[in-house]
Structures are given as structure tokens and as C-alpha cells.
Amino acid sequence: MKKMLNIGCGHRFHKDWENIDIDPASPEVKKVNILKGLPYADNSFDIVYHSNILEHLPSDTGKKMIEECFRVLKPGGMIRINVPDMEKICREYLSTIDNAIAGDEMATYNHDWMLIEMLDQVSRNKSGGQMAEYLSQPEIINIEFLKKRLGDYVTTWRLNMNKAPVKKSISEKLRFILKHPDRLKRLWYYLVLSGKERAYLEIGRFRLGGEVHYQMYDRYSLERLLLNTGFKKIQIQTPVTSSWKNWTSYNLDSPDDGAALLAEAFK
């Protein structure tokens, strides 16, 4: 039976895989901090997959993670990587400029979005950033363009946005704070720091929390990274194509994700 590793799976995992994440969304997911390496022996897996992880790591840390993926793969094993495609973003951005200048009114809205898509995930200082603000609009004129860019994420995000938040009693909030020492520290900081100092602390906490992008990749830079690590036979794929048999049956990639760069390579 093939051994398959899904790194940083979030809410997208499959029972046939070894699913790991720093913040498990299910009992089926194992808690692992990949910054400390992968807790598996050399040559353990037939395939390693990760989606929207590599761009959240500084380039040197990302290189170490790819080296770890290479280490735990069996000879002949395959890696599949899904990251935002910087080349596609840039080409789409330039296209919206040309169309907007030519008088296409819809292209004006699309250009606004492409600026956000290029810059927000690198520059934001709060969760969700400008992307969340844009997606929170009651009516999005260019919703079809966004769906083409982000796939089912747009619909899922807007559905979750409309859910009423779960209200907690004061006693529940207090129990939560006492159960999590980091929250107790946070409460103490709020009591002793000035408003400006608290703002600095919150921005620093957020920027180091893993949401922002530290790196972006195109097909050339991703191929170089894989080749320099020792991988070979690099192939660019789509969300619905793969060298791995029955890939789409695992539902790990969004089939309509137009912003993704997907690459496979072999050890």
C-alpha cells in the first residue's frame, strides 16, 4: 500500500493519507510543527504533497522544508506542490491594466482586485487584510472574475462570513484565558502597555503568526528550487492533472483554482 503525506493540510485532508498540521482541524490530523522538521524516517513515503505552505516561509526555511520532503520520500517517490503562481498574477495584472485603459469598465474592478492579490498577503498587518474587506462587500460586481482567480474559496469564504459568531459568556472567556497561558500573557500586556505599544505587539504577533507571504514562486523559480534540492523530472500540472493515479479522487486541490501553480517532481 502506498504511503502518502499531506503537509499543512488545514481542512483539506483524506483518510488514506498521513495528514499533518500545526493546528489540526480534526482528530484525523496529526499535530506537527514543520519548522522543526518532519518527524519521519528517511525514505518513508511514496508521495509528499503540500498546498499553500511554501509561500508562507522565508526562502531559506522553504528550502529546508523541500529538503525534508526529499529526505522522507522513497527513491522514485513524487512531490506535488501547490503555490500561488506569481507569473499568472503578473500577466493577469498587466491584462487588466490594458483593458481598463481601453475603456473596459469591468477591467477597472478586476485591476483593483489584482493589486490586492499581488500585494495584500505580503503587506497586511491584520488577519484577512484587504482581501477580506473586498470579499466582505454585500455585492461584488466582478464576482465571476474572483471565482476564476480563487475557485471555490470565494463561495466558501462568503458563506462562512455570513455565519453568526458564537457568543461566549464571561465565565467561558475567563476559563479559556486561564487554560491558555499565552492568552493570560496577552491580557497582562494589554494592562501594562500603552495603546501604541499594544499596536506594535499585535502587528509583530500577527506578522510572525504564519498568515503573511514571505515568498512567491513562478514555474522557473520553483523548478530551480526542486532541481537544486535533488529532484528531477519536474512537470507543471493543473488542479485536475497529475502523474499520481486517481489524483482528483482525493479532492486535495480545488479543481477551479485559476491562481495556482502546481508542480510535480521525482526523487
C-alpha cell at 71: 529526505
Same domain, 15 and 76: yes
Is residue 103 situated within a structural domain?
yes
Residue 13: per-residue pLDDT:
94
pLDDT digits (tens, 9 = 90+) for 234-264: 999 999 999 999 999 999 998 888 889 999 9
Across the range 61-80, mean pLDDT stands at 97
For residues 160 and 221, the model is more confident at 221
Across the range 29-44, mean pLDDT stands at 95
Percent above pLDDT 90 for the chain: 69
pLDDT at 204 over 60: yes
CA distances from 93 to 87, 103, 148, 213, 257 (A): 10, 16, 14, 18, 17
Same domain, 147 and 179: no
Residue 112: per-residue pLDDT:
96
Same domain, 95 and 155: yes
Provide the 10 A C-beta neighbour count for residue 213. Answer: 18
Residue 1: per-residue pLDDT:
83
Expressed as residue numbers, the domain containing 202 is 170-207
Is residue 10 situated within a structural domain?
yes
pLDDT at 164 over 70: no
Same domain, 79 and 8: yes
Same domain, 198 and 253: no
Is residue 212 situated within a structural domain?
no
Residue 42: per-residue pLDDT:
97
Domain count within the chain: 3
Nearest to 44 by CA among 13, 5, 14: 5
Is residue 58 situated within a structural domain?
yes
Strand boundaries in the chain, DSSP class E: 4-7, 18-21, 30-31, 45-51, 73-84, 232-237, 260-266
pLDDT band at 200 (very low <50, low <70, confident <90, very high): confident
Is residue 249 situated within a structural domain?
yes
Same domain, 91 and 133: yes
Same domain, 149 and 92: yes
C-alpha cell at 43: 525514505
Is residue 145 situated within a structural domain?
yes
CA distances from 113 to 48, 89, 106 (A): 33, 11, 11
Same domain, 116 and 154: yes
Across the range 132-154, mean pLDDT stands at 89
Same domain, 115 and 176: no
C-alpha cell at 96: 487588466
Name the CA dihedral angle for 117, 159, 253, 67, rounded to a multiple of 10 degrees. 60
pLDDT digits (tens, 9 = 90+) for 83-131: 999 999 999 999 999 999 999 999 999 999 999 999 999 999 998 899 9
Is residue 65 situated within a structural domain?
yes
pLDDT digits (tens, 9 = 90+) for 168-191: 666 766 676 666 667 667 777 777
Q: Are 40 and 77 in contact (CB under 8 A)?
A: no
The CATH number linked to 10 is 3.40.50.150
Provide the 10 A C-beta neighbour count for residue 16. Answer: 13
Same domain, 77 and 92: no
Please, what is the average pLDDT of the chain? Answer: 90
